[in-house]
Structure 1
Amino acid sequence: MAVTTPLVVASSQLRCHNFRRTRHWALTLSWEKQQLKRAQKCGGDENPWKPVKIVMRVVDHHPRDGDVSYGLHKDLVSLPKPLSISDIVAASDDHAKGIPGSYSEDAALKAYPNCETVSCNDFEEAFKAVEIWWADKVILPIENTSGGSIHRNYDLLLRHRLHIVGEVQLATNLALLALPGVRTEYLKRVLSHSQAFELSDDFLTKLGVARENVDDTAGAAQIIASNGLYDAGAIASVRAAEIYGLNVLAERIQDDSEIISRYLVLARDPIIPKADKPFKTSIVFTLDEGPGVLFKALAVFALRDINLNKIESRPQRNRPLRVVDDSNTGTAKYFDYLFYIDFDASMTEPRAQTALGHLQEFATFLRVLGCYPIDTTI
């Protein structure tokens, strides 16, 4: 008798290219592993699947009505102490089900080669699936070299309490697919996600075909195959062509010759940084208004030779404007910003902890989103 197991969620399709709507994908633990976890909670001591102890304490508070600037104090939670390699707990493979052929599924398979995928309706549902133990991890796109950052997912990182435990970099190859025997000149229309059309606009303009939007790229390939559409093609991945029995009429049809998408892997618990590979740390913080405040915030890393490889600012959603007195005009309004930073250092390193301790002295809010291995392969 089959038993439903918790899932891990990862977004699908070209949402890795800043798509507005898409499916999400999940990775699930086997039922046996779930039972071992439950047994551990009931008192088992020697459980090989014992959950990783949370040793990375998060500097955070509980905002009211989503305002991260409300009720903040300077005496925030102390930073984590240095960790030893003996604290590391080995990770396991995950499993799940879903509609195959998307780019996000490709990212999931790169991170977990033995996984199966399960789809969710949207990003919000994906986060919740992990929080309620219906899923174990979520893999979702965060930025790409063509469309930039996916701001919706930055907002969700702050709204939910999941931890970043990994990243995946994936080169995207947009391909034109069609049924066997169909040639490019036979096509009258092409199905795909709207973002795929934007990324391959030059190619489609020269092709001179009608464009029909669908929810995702893999879904477009599936529609072509299941309905036997001989006058239509699909823009999707080469793997989608293999899955649905379609021919590849053209590859790398995107306007940019190379598009790299970056995905984040999130889980309920943080991981213990290892010493055998480079790690990255992601944080979010807010600052008071004033000259040189942002310079001081960035200087805490420069003073310790810590490289910043990502800086993203987002207006606070529930308190977007700040009113400031101005002697000339009476009042002035300024955006109230959240600052997201990725830096090349592990939270096991004293220099990283010292830098965050320094930042904590004048940041009005500080939260560690995760410390995770850097993906150096594409």
Structure 2
Amino acid sequence: MRVAIQGELGSNSHLAVQELVGEEELVPCSLSAEVFERLEDGSADAAVLPIENSLHGAVADHYDLLLDHAVTIVAETSLRIRHALIAAAALPIEQVERVFSHPVALSQCRRFFLTHPQCRAVPAYDTAGSVKMVLASGDAAEAAIAAPYAAEVYGGTILARDLEDDPQNFTRFLLLYPKTGAPAAALGPEVALKVSVAFSIAHRPGSLVHTLSLLAAQGADLTRIESRPVPGRPWEYVFFVDLRMERAGGVDGLLRALERECHFVKELGRYASNRPEGAAGTGPGGV
């Protein structure tokens, strides 16, 4: 199976692929939009993308892409994010002058840069891609921040581990398939079902509260809500919600209730709920 990811081999997305589907052929993409193009043109059979981080929140662009493309979510996983300083060869950190990585990874390692002021953070498009670039350059003054796995993939040397400021650093990844021909999610009777839905509502007082009350009446437990602006319609929004359901049979009734009240409803997927071991909390709670 060919699995598209945004980024390079050795990235956290690569690790998420291993968690979700095992060792499969990767299709690295520079941009997230390219991931969806690969699904649509058939050059990838599936895709794995991050959707939110426990420290930085939602990956907003990915919500927009989910809405715009005919894909479905069939599984999720939460990955503990670990950052390592990786260089071409062993050397004292004091000799490192430039550290490359994705801007989010750099921002999650502020304490490292405060304690090593000679290191200048340099944004790049990908964590593992930064390791690949640093090793290709051979410049002893350069290093990269990425998952320790990237050092294994590219043959780099880890100068320091666990650079992240907060160990409770998790990223939630989604496994996506094209809407047509997607495999059914494996949902046993003991598995908590999660449903992801996007909808838009009338712009009037109390409309969101009323819609959420409908979800509660259907036995849905709201675990996440995110809003995104509607292009070309200022101050109007699409709401993305993740819901836990005790009964898979209740999903269709929930969707029918939403369709009666909302301007627009799109089911993004129904799949087994996953929670990272050791992570506190499950979200906003029931609606």
TM-score by length of 1: 0.68
Alignment of 1:272 with 2:184, yes or no, is yes
Shift of 1:199: 1.4
- SS of the residue 1:141 aligns to: strand
Distance 1:174 1:285, change over 3 A: same
- Which of 253, 256, 262 is matched with 2:163 structurally? 253
Q: Which residue of 2 aligns with 1:95?
A: none
Counterpart contact for 1:9–1:139, Cα < 8 Å: yes
Q: Give the superposed CA RMSD.
A: 1.9
Distance 1:103 1:236, change over 3 A: same
Q: Which residue of 2 aligns with 1:27?
A: none
Q: Which residue of 1 aligns with 2:241?
A: 341
Alignment of 1:312 with 2:211, yes or no, is no
Q: Which residue of 2 aligns with 1:8?
A: 3
Counterpart contact for 1:347–1:353, Cα < 8 Å: no
Separation in 2 of the partners of 1:247 and 1:132? 38
Offset from partner CA, 1:95-137 (integer Å, 9 cap, x none): xxxx421111111111121212121231111112111222111
Shift of 1:346: 7.1
Counterpart contact for 2:6–2:30, Cα < 8 Å: no
Q: Which residue of 1 aligns with 2:49?
A: 140
Separation in 1 of the partners of 2:200 and 2:270? 19
Alignment of 1:294 with 2:208, yes or no, is yes
Q: Which residue of 2 aligns with 1:222?
A: 132
Q: Which runs of 5+ in 1 are unaligned?
A: 1-5, 13-98, 321-334
Distance 1:121 1:177, change over 3 A: closer
Shift of 1:362: 1.4
Shift of 1:189: 2.1
Compare the two structures and name the one with the higher strand fraction. 2
- Which of 51, 67, 75 is matched with 1:158 structurally? 67
Which of structure 1's runs of 4+ aligned residues deviate more than 6 A? none
Partner AA of 1:10 in structure 2: I
Offset from partner CA, 1:38-89 (integer Å, 9 cap, x none): xxxxxxxxxxxxxxxxxxxxxxxxxxxxxxxxxxxxxxxxxxxxxxxxxxxx
Alignment of 1:358 with 2:270, yes or no, is no
Count residues in correspondence.
Answer: 272
- SS of the residue 1:135 aligns to: coil
Distance 1:288 1:181, change over 3 A: closer
Q: Which residue of 2 aligns with 1:46?
A: none
Partner AA of 2:128 in structure 1: A
- SS of the residue 2:263 aligns to: strand
Shift of 1:377: 4.5
Q: Which residue of 2 aligns with 1:262?
A: 172
Percent identity of paired positions between Structure 1 and Structure 2 = 31
Counterpart contact for 1:164–1:369, Cα < 8 Å: yes
Offset from partner CA, 1:118-164 (integer Å, 9 cap, x none): 21231111112111222111111111011111111111111111111
Counterpart contact for 2:4–2:29, Cα < 8 Å: yes
Shift of 1:234: 1.4
Separation in 1 of the partners of 2:61 and 2:16? 19
Counterpart contact for 1:287–1:294, Cα < 8 Å: yes
Counterpart contact for 2:27–2:44, Cα < 8 Å: no
Separation in 2 of the partners of 1:250 and 1:140? 27
Partner AA of 1:275 in structure 2: G
**Aligned ranges 1:195-214 → 2 under 5 Å:** 195-208=104-117, 209-214=119-124
Partner AA of 1:360 in structure 2: E
Partner AA of 2:268 in structure 1: L
- Greater Rg over alpha carbons, structure: 1
Offset from partner CA, 1:250-273 (integer Å, 9 cap, x none): 222122222100111111134435
Counterpart contact for 1:279–1:346, Cα < 8 Å: yes
Shift of 1:317: 1.1
Counterpart contact for 1:7–1:130, Cα < 8 Å: no
Separation in 2 of the partners of 1:117 and 1:8? 5
Shift of 1:347: 7.8
Shift of 1:224: 2.6
Counterpart contact for 1:10–1:104, Cα < 8 Å: yes
Separation in 1 of the partners of 2:124 and 2:263? 43
Offset from partner CA, 1:171-199 (integer Å, 9 cap, x none): 10011122333121222222222222211
Distance 1:178 1:107, change over 3 A: same
